[in-house]
């Protein structure tokens, strides 16, 4: 609006000068001037009010040291030797590993590898500093950005919320500017990274053009390691591993690699079933952990369906929308109950899919629900095999897989689908502007070995 006001003032001055210099009888010339002025003002207001594009300059994923490797055999042996785990739970852990689709290259912090794991504040803070500072250092080396240009900092970590916050930890380490807009998200689990990108984009659109936002996403697994025998809570120990990602967003296209498309957020926490399907609590012995409900898959399916309903009009061509609308109407009006609901073909809108790596069943469910091929879900299955579920950062490891394989081309569109506690389903779309020039990400040392066959493990 400041720009529009300035333009209006200049146009008024120009009209006044032009009117004085033209002959008084030239009514037609005055009308022409007014039309030109109206055109200029309209263009200025449009440019001032239209939403700005937001771009992903680059991103960097955490690459753990081999010292943190935690093979399945080690996990099972640890369970059988631990005085805290009974035999039936150890057998359950071994059974889950067999069907997990997980390889032997996943990573845990050392504090949870002891017979009696203990993760205090100092240990958790050390893990956070290791992950967060590593990904930011890598990102800064990639982008060569001046830190004074960063005007927004958003961090998200669900379970580790120290004082000062992780965001303050970053400000202190990198001496970021004092008028920085800082937000620290917690309790949102796996979907928080997508949420943080949406939040950053909304803020950037109201900041001066060319501003930068640094978004750091991680889950510190040490503090949430469960030491009891309740199976619904032991699942989180088997599912989650170390990971993190740093992303740099901007309203400037310069050096950008992706352009942000749609962002759709679906929250189902009003339902008690959805609210409690991923729930932090204590077991009967007072051991703190996160319980996963047996209703999780149904809740996730309902959340994805609601999200798709909102996303489809934003991304699908008219032909797909017509088919979907026509069959829904026919089923409702003509009571054609035997007709299966039409699943829109999202492959006409996106070239690549980064699906939440909650487990083999989650990936398969989304694949069948959206009618995707094995090639479309390969990044998800391979991320599950190589890195396991890293919570909030996992969709970025999938994007890194696609790029490491050389499959990302200019103009390709990517759909990220994240699920999280609450229960939430958040999706975001990207369009590639500049593919990666090298495979220096988290897959650099192993991409030649992938894809691997995980069909007998799923």
Asked if pLDDT for residue 269 goes beyond 90, the answer is: yes
Asked if pLDDT for residue 458 goes beyond 50, the answer is: no
96 and 236, same domain (yes or no) = yes
Query: What domain count does the chain have?
Result: 2
Asked if pLDDT for residue 45 goes beyond 80, the answer is: no
Asked if pLDDT for residue 280 goes beyond 80, the answer is: yes
Full-model pTM: 0.87
Q: Identify the CA nearest to 291 among candidates 226, 359, 363.
A: 226
**Of the segments 7-16, 185-194, 239-248, which one has the largest average pLDDT value?**
239-248
306 and 203, same domain (yes or no) = yes
44 and 67, same domain (yes or no) = no
Q: In terms of pLDDT, which residue wins out, 325 or 189?
A: 189
Q: In terms of pLDDT, which residue wins out, 267 or 360?
A: 267
Strand partners, 258: 56, 432
Strand partners, 289: 281
24 and 147, same domain (yes or no) = no
Please report the pLDDT score of residue 43 as a whole number.
59
> Which residue among 49, 67, 85 closes a domain?
49
How many angstroms separate the CA atoms of 13 and 170, rounded?
Answer: 49
Instruction: Give tens-digit pLDDT for 375-407.
Output: 999 999 999 999 988 888 999 999 999 999 999
Question: Percent of the chain at pLDDT above 70?
Answer: 85
43 and 192, same domain (yes or no) = no
**Of 13-27, 37-51, 90-104, 395-409, where does mean pLDDT reach its minimum?**
13-27
Please report the pLDDT score of residue 44 as a whole number.
56
Instruction: Give tens-digit pLDDT for 165-223.
Output: 999 999 999 999 999 999 999 888 888 999 999 999 999 998 999 999 999 999 999 88
Please report the pLDDT score of residue 31 as a whole number.
66
CB within 8 A of 110, min separation 6: which ones?
Answer: 67, 68
Residue 347 to residues 48, 313, 412, Cα–Cα distance (Å): 34, 14, 11
322 and 423, same domain (yes or no) = yes
Domain containing 26 equals 2-49
pLDDT band for 319, please (50, 70, 90 cuts).
Answer: confident
89-103 mean pLDDT: 86
245 and 158, same domain (yes or no) = yes
41 and 59, same domain (yes or no) = no
Contact criterion met (CB below 8 Å) for 248 and 196: no
> Which residue among 34, 49, 64 closes a domain?
49
Asked if pLDDT for residue 85 goes beyond 60, the answer is: yes
23 and 59, same domain (yes or no) = no
Would you call 117 helix, strand, or coil by DSSP?
Answer: coil
242 and 200, same domain (yes or no) = yes
Asked if pLDDT for residue 317 goes beyond 70, the answer is: yes
Average pLDDT, the chain: 86
163 and 73, same domain (yes or no) = yes
414-427 mean pLDDT: 93
CB within 8 A of 207, min separation 6: which ones?
Answer: 151, 152, 251
Please report the pLDDT score of residue 14 as a whole number.
52
Q: In terms of pLDDT, which residue wins out, 2 or 339?
A: 339
116-127 mean pLDDT: 89
Joined tokens for residue 288 = 């703190």
CB atoms within 10 A of CB 127: 25
Asked if pLDDT for residue 325 goes beyond 80, the answer is: no
- Omega of the bond prior to 423 within 30 degrees of 0, cis? yes
* CATH code of the domain covering residue 270: 3.40.47.10
59 and 41, same domain (yes or no) = no
């Amino acid at each position: 609006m400041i720009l529009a006001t300035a333009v209006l003032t200049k146009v008024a001055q120009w009209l006044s000068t032009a009117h004085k210099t033209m002959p008084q009888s030239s009514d037609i010339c005055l009308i022409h001037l007014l039309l030109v002025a109206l055109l200029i003002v309209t263009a200025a207001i449009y440019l001032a009010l239209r939403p700005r594009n937001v771009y992903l300059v680059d991103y960097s994923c955490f690459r753990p040291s081999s010292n943190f490797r935690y093979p399945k055999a080690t996990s099972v042996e640890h369970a059988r030797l631990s005085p805290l785990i009974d035999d039936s739970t150890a057998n359950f852990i071994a059974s889950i590993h067999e069907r997990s689709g997980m390889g032997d290259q996943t990573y845990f912090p050392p504090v949870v590898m002891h017979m009696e794991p203990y993760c205090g504040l100092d240990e958790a803070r050390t893990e956070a500093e290791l992950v967060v500072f590593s990904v930011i250092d890598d990102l800064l080396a990639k982008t060569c950005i001046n830190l004074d240009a960063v005007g927004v900092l958003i961090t998200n970590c669900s379970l580790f919320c120290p004082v000062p916050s992780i965001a303050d930890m970053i400000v202190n380490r990198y001496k970021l500017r004092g008028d920085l807009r800082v937000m620290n998200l917690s309790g949102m689990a796996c979907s928080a990274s997508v949420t943080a990108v949406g939040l950053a984009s909304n803020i950037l659109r109201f900041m001066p053009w060319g501003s930068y936002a640094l978004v750091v996403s991680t889950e510190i697994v040490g503090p949430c390691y469960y030491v009891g025998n309740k199976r619904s809570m032991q699942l989180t120990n088997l599912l989650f591993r170390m990971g993190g990602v740093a992303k740099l967003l901007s309203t400037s296209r310069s050096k950008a690699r992706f352009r942000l498309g749609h962002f759709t957020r679906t929250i189902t926490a009003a339902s008690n079933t959805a609210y409690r399907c991923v729930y932090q609590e204590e077991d009967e012995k007072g051991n703190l952990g996160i319980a996963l409900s047996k209703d999780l898959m149904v809740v996730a399916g309902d959340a994805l369906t609601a999200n798709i309903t909102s996303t489809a009009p934003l991304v699908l061509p008219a032909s797909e929308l017509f088919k979907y609308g026509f069959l829904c109407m026919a089923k409702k009006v003509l009571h054609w109950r035997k007709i299966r609901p039409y699943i829109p073909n999202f492959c006409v809108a996106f070239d690549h899919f980064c699906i939440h790596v909650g487990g083999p069943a989650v990936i398969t469910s989304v694949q069948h629900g959206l009618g995707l091929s094995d090639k479309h879900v390969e990044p998800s299955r391979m991320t599950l095999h190589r890195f396991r579920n890293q919570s909030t950062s996992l969709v970025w490891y999938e994007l890194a897989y696609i790029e490491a394989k050389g499959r990302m081309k200019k103009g390709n569109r990517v759909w990220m689908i994240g699920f999280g506690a609450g229960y939430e389903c958040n999706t975001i779309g990207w369009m590639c502007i500049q593919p990666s020039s090298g495979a220096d990400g988290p897959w650099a040392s192993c991409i030649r070995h992938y894809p691997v066959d995980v069909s007998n493990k799923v």
